[in-house]
Amino acid sequence: AQTVTQSQPEMSVQEAETVTLSCTYDTSESDYYLFWYKQPPSRQMILVIRQEAYKQQNATENRFSVNFQKAAKSFSLKISDSQLGDAAMYFCAYRGYSGNTPLVFGKGTRLSVIA
Amino acid sequence: GAGVSQSPRYKVAKRGQDVALRCDPISGHVSLFWYQQALGQGPEFLTYFQNEAQLDKSGLPSDRFFAERPEGSVSTLKIQRTQQEDSAVYLCASSLLWQGKETQYFGPGTRLLVL
């Protein structure tokens, strides 16, 4: 079974600085998808960024980018120019290539942004 | 609708009571997932529907948990004879078609507290 590990329960960053959240995963599949979701306090979980494993190029979405290292099974999220609104729980998630597999989530990292 | 909605948002039940949690997915979304999120944890998969067909219920923790989606839109998660360990946030997510890099859109969740 696939597993996702987020080894940083909590992180903090100064406003306007850069922070990197770590994620590792375990799978025997060669094709899969990886996601970072953001869950603000008492609000809905929303997708931040996603990566297809067959793409070598790292995904970017504005201030958010990933460092995808397939051989190391590592998928870290970098947030640049951190803003107060970035404060939330961040979950790394994996899904297999076949159509009906659910998302497998890590335990999350709570990010605080200090003004 | 504009997004995935869930009701009630909060539910307090006495141990042994039955509860029913409702999910309204985004209109037209074929795929619907239920997840259970314990305090301080990432969401864990419960069950998956494609239209009205329940294709995977491997995550349901016991036979006290039952889910249905009779007309392929609204879904209900029912928990019979609730136990304290059932206390969690129950998340519903939908997607147009659960394939490829298709994203899941999450509802706000129902926070269940069993006393």
Tens digit of each residue's pLDDT (9 = 90 or more) over B16-39: 999 999 999 999 999 999 999 999
- % of chain A beyond a pLDDT of 70: 99
The region of weakest confidence among A29-33, A47-51, B92-96, B99-103 is: B99-103
- List chain B residues with CB under 8 Å of A40: none
Tokens of residue B42, six digits: 């990432």
Mean pLDDT of B83-104: 87
CA distance B111 to B8: 8
- List chain A residues with CB under 8 Å of B91: 45
Query: What pLDDT shows up at residue B99?
Result: 67
What is the domain range of residue A53?
Answer: 3-114
Sign of the Cα pseudo-torsion (B52, B56, B59, B61, in order) = positive
Tell me how far CA of residue A94 lies from CA of A74, A103, B14, in angstroms: 11, 6, 35
Tell me how far CA of residue A34 lies from CA of A16, A45, B102, in angstroms: 26, 15, 11
Query: What pLDDT shows up at residue A98?
Result: 75
Q: Does B99 touch chain A (CB under 8 A)?
A: yes
Tokens of residue A34, six digits: 């990886």
Domain B5-105 has CATH 2.60.40.10: yes
Helix, strand, or coil (residue A84): helix
Q: How many CA atoms lie within 13 A of A60 on its CB side?
A: 5
> Which pLDDT band, with edges at 50, 70 and 90, does B61 fall under?
very high
Q: Report which of B67, B69, B115, B63 is spatially closest to residue B90, judged by C-alpha positions.
A: B67
Ordered DSSP codes for B10-26: EEEE-TT--EEEEEEPP
Evaluate if residue B70 carries a pLDDT over 80: yes
Judged by CB atoms closer than 8 Å, whether chains meet at A100 and B56 is answered as: yes
Of A50, A91, A102, the CB nearest to B48: A102
Residue of A nearest to B32 (CA): A102
Q: A52: domain CATH number?
A: 2.60.40.10
- List chain A residues with CB under 8 Å of B101: 33, 50, 52
Evaluate if residue B102 carries a pLDDT over 90: no
Sign of the Cα pseudo-torsion (A86, A91, A96, A98, in order) = negative
Evaluate if residue B12 carries a pLDDT over 90: yes
Cross-strand partners of A73: none
Indicate the domain borders of chain B. Answer: 5-105
Which parts of chain A sit beneath pLDDT 70? 99
Beta strands A109-114; A60-61: pairing state: unpaired
Judged by CB atoms closer than 8 Å, whether chains meet at B41 and A108 is answered as: yes
Question: Which strand ranges, in their side-by-side order, compose the sheet holding B65-68?
Answer: B5-7, B19-24, B75-79, B65-68
